[in-house]
Amino acid sequence: MATFRIATWNLWNHDWRRADRLDAAISVLNTANPDLVALQEVHMEPGTTSAAATIAEACGYTYLVERRYPDEPAEGLAVLARFPLAHIDIPDTRGFALRVECAVHGYPWAVTTLHLDWQRPLTREEQIVRLAREIDARQTGRFELMTGDFNSTPESSIYQFLRGQMSLSGQDTVSWLDLAARDAARTGTVPGATLDVLRNPRWHDVPTLERPMRLDWILMRDLFNSGLPWPKLEQVVMFGEEPAGGANVVASDHYGVLAILELPDPC
């Protein structure tokens, strides 16, 4: 058996103590030690080193794929890994998703990181339908992960659509499996909120009546009839919940999510 550690994290692209928070993010990721990490809200100010590139160098990630949002050149998405990545461009999703393919322990994988629109549910629905359509058209004989900040809760139409429980815009998709929910069922717990307005120090001075929400997910496309073996889900944990780094600050307004999978040796 071989282990694959995959993480997702929204870094919070904000000027508040940016350098201190980046240092904290590096410290946290060095501790979590994912083999692949998908990042959202990556600071990419033109003419400067991106936050993802800084993290890659500090944490020993040899491979990096990043892309600015077409309409927001100072921010974007990134995937960092310890093994080669191939960027698969999907023009219709450039404004909110980034897709890579790779080989992990002898198996083919595709990982799509996304950051859905935070303002309008209708826009999020349009985005996820477009993305699911493109992935369904490309998915052939590989493990498939979709991860990121969905700006949606498990009660949302986005989640129900991806779980295969409802259609959107006359379209359905192959079911996607929620790794955090699966691990919580195993342990008899409830998946934790990744946007925690009650306990994350970032929110302590922000007046709000919002409740904590689980907006950041790691989903795996159902393997039924794929010919691929089922991995074992060892554990799903959150990270970035506590202050870290030299300045002892919390790195982001979101917590990260880490899934640890065990893969059988290829035949």
SS (H, E, C) 82-98: CCCCEECCCHHHCCCEE
The chain-wide mean pLDDT, for the chain, equals 93
CA gap 162, 7 in Å, rounded: 19
CA gap 161, 174 in Å, rounded: 9
CA gap 10, 252 in Å, rounded: 7
Provide the number of structural domains found in the chain. 1
Q: Which CATH number do you get for residue 92?
A: 3.60.10.10
Q: What is the mean pLDDT of residues 163-188?
A: 94
pLDDT value, residue 154: 96
CA gap 163, 184 in Å, rounded: 16
pLDDT value, residue 198: 87
pLDDT value, residue 137: 87
Q: What is the mean pLDDT of residues 239-265?
A: 94
> What is the phi-psi region of residue 116: left when phi exceeds 0, alpha when psi lies from -120 to 50, beta otherwise?
beta
CA gap 186, 178 in Å, rounded: 13
* 193-231 burial code (b ≥16 CB/10 A, e <16): bbbbbeebebbeeeeeeeebbbbbbbbbbeeeebeeeeb
Q: What is the mean pLDDT of residues 226-247?
A: 92
DSSP letter assigned to residue 21: H
Residue 202 pLDDT more than 70?
Answer: yes
| Angle subtended at Cα 80 by Cα 194 and Cα 151, rounded to the nearest 5 degrees | 30
What is the span of the domain harbouring residue 92?
A: 2-263
Q: What is the mean pLDDT of residues 82-86?
A: 96
pLDDT value, residue 67: 93
pLDDT value, residue 4: 96
pLDDT value, residue 267: 66
Residue 265 buriedness (CB in 10 A; 0-12 / 13-18 / 19+): exposed
pLDDT value, residue 208: 82
CA gap 246, 29 in Å, rounded: 14
Q: Which tens digits make up the pLDDT trace of 19-72?
A: 999 999 999 999 999 999 999 999 998 888 999 999 999 999 999 999 999 888
Q: In what order do the strands lie in the sheet with 176-178?
A: 86-87, 97-104, 107-115, 143-149, 216-221, 176-178
The two three-digit tokens of residue 89, written as one number: 């461009």
CA gap 209, 203 in Å, rounded: 11
SS3 49: coil
DSSP letter assigned to residue 115: E
Q: Return the percentage of the chain with pLDDT > 90, whole number.
A: 79
Q: Which tens digits make up the pLDDT trace of 136-161?
A: 888 778 899 999 999 999 999 999 99
* Gap between the terminal Cα atoms of the chain: 12
Residue 167 pLDDT more than 90?
Answer: yes
